[in-house]
Amino acid sequence: MSPGASVGLPPAFPFVALHGQSALQTALLLSTVDPLIGGVLVEGPRGTAKSTAARALAALLPGGRFVNLPLSASEEQLVGTLDLEAALKAGDVRFRPGLLARAHEGVLYVDEVNLLADGLVDLLLDVCASGINHVERDGISHVHPARITLVGTMNPEEGELRPQLLDRFGLFVRIGNALAPAAREAIVRARLAFDADPAGFVASHDEAQRMLGARIVAARAALPAIGFDDPTHAAVAARCHAAAVEGVRADLVMLRAARAHAALEGRTRIEVADVDAVAELVLAHRRQDDAERAAQPPAPAPATDQSPPASGEDWGALPAQDVPIAAVKNVRPLNAKKP
């Protein structure tokens, strides 16, 4: 090899070849179809393929953009700033794009997000929820689209994320390190095959990857036409009420996630099965446990005149349902059958 010759980066592990991470794969796909869901927070110990899954997701997208946000990043590196070179040489006021601009229509990955400065996490979540980056600094005012699939990971041994920030992540996946023998074997076999021949392994999954990528593009296009009907609102409100979540952020995220799930399944309307498929991803980090509920003041006794509840108090009688998320295998990462 001649001096200065560049060495190409190895290909990303195929998303469809991941094993044992069906909940994570589902959450990543939903957030990719609708980035305004608010990103995915992944909690788990080291060696559980968190970064591998995020890189694999980026490889599915049309531009294949994967941007890693280092913990040492500054705010101006993230959002962008004044182009000092242009200002000094020509006196021009120009905007120098930051990592958010680079990640537009791609994946922005933050490892150990719980160790990132709270201000940057807050800023990230604001942009993720709006899809727009507003920059007002250094004498410049600039706005640009930033529809990013935010993937944050954290190891609970390194500390927790503040509850206010935890709630702002749209979806949450907790990965355990206890795998069944069959799953461990499948993961190891796939990894060894990839390491032995990365190009060949990727080529063997190329058709499945293309089909899944096409499903994502089609789901994104279909998303605006899928509405939220009354049964969907009732099902979502009942599940959020049963989980005793604070505020209505969970309701909004669950509606978006259920719509993205329906779009990936090729449906034109949301069904209860779509709500069931995404409910735990939305509620896992927001559900209040029994101790928290016991600490809350008791609800006031009903009025003696038996007057009807105020608007918004009767959230419906549907029970909360914990339904396993469908396994992601090959080209059907969600429910395998269409209705």
Is the pTM above the cut of 0.85?
A: no
DSSP, collapsed to helix, strand or coil, labels residue 293 as helix
Within-domain flag for 120: yes
Within-domain flag for 121: yes
Residue 221 has what pLDDT? 97
Asked if residues 161 and 140 have their Cβ atoms less than 8 Å apart, the reply is no
Within-domain flag for 112: yes
Within-domain flag for 329: no
Residue 23 has what pLDDT? 94
Distance CA 34, CA 71 (A): 26
Q: How far is CA 44 from CA 73, 159, 198, 280, 282, in A?
A: 23, 12, 26, 17, 17
Residue 316 has what pLDDT? 31
**Over its length of 339 residues, how does the chain's per-residue pLDDT go in tens digits?**
434 333 456 799 999 999 988 999 999 999 999 999 999 999 988 888 899 999 999 999 988 899 999 999 999 899 988 776 655 666 666 788 899 999 999 999 999 999 999 889 989 999 998 999 988 876 678 889 999 999 999 988 887 888 888 888 999 999 877 788 998 899 999 999 999 999 999 999 999 999 999 999 999 999 999 999 999 999 999 999 999 999 999 999 999 999 999 999 999 999 999 999 999 999 999 998 643 444 444 444 444 343 333 333 333 333 333 333 333 334 444 554 444
Within-domain flag for 41: yes
Q: What is the CATH number of the domain that holds 163?
A: 3.40.50.300
Residue 189 has what pLDDT? 96
- List all residues 6 or more positions away from 221 whose beta carbon is below 8 Å from its beta carbon: none
Report helix angle 206-222 to 249-264, nearest 10. Answer: 120
Catalytic residue among 249, 267, 286, 332: 249
Tokens 């005149």, residue? 305
Nearest to 245 by CA among 293, 300, 277: 293
Residue 199 has what pLDDT? 95
Residue 228 has what pLDDT? 97
| Structural domains counted in the chain | 1
Nearest to 161 by CA among 109, 121, 108: 121
Checking 224-232 for CB contacts under 8 A at 24+ apart, the result is: 225/268, 226/259, 226/262, 226/263, 226/267, 226/268, 226/269, 226/270, 227/269, 228/255, 228/259, 228/270, 229/269, 229/270, 231/272, 232/258, 232/270, 232/272, 232/275
Residue 308 has what pLDDT? 38
- 249 tagged catalytic: yes
Within-domain flag for 102: yes
DSSP 3: T
Within-domain flag for 296: no
Within-domain flag for 65: yes
Asked if residues 275 and 235 have their Cβ atoms less than 8 Å apart, the reply is yes
Range of the domain at 158: 15-178
Q: For the chain, where are the alpha helices, taking DSSP H only?
A: 22-33, 50-60, 75-79, 84-90, 99-102, 118-130, 163-166, 181-196, 198-204, 206-222, 230-242, 249-264, 272-283, 290-295
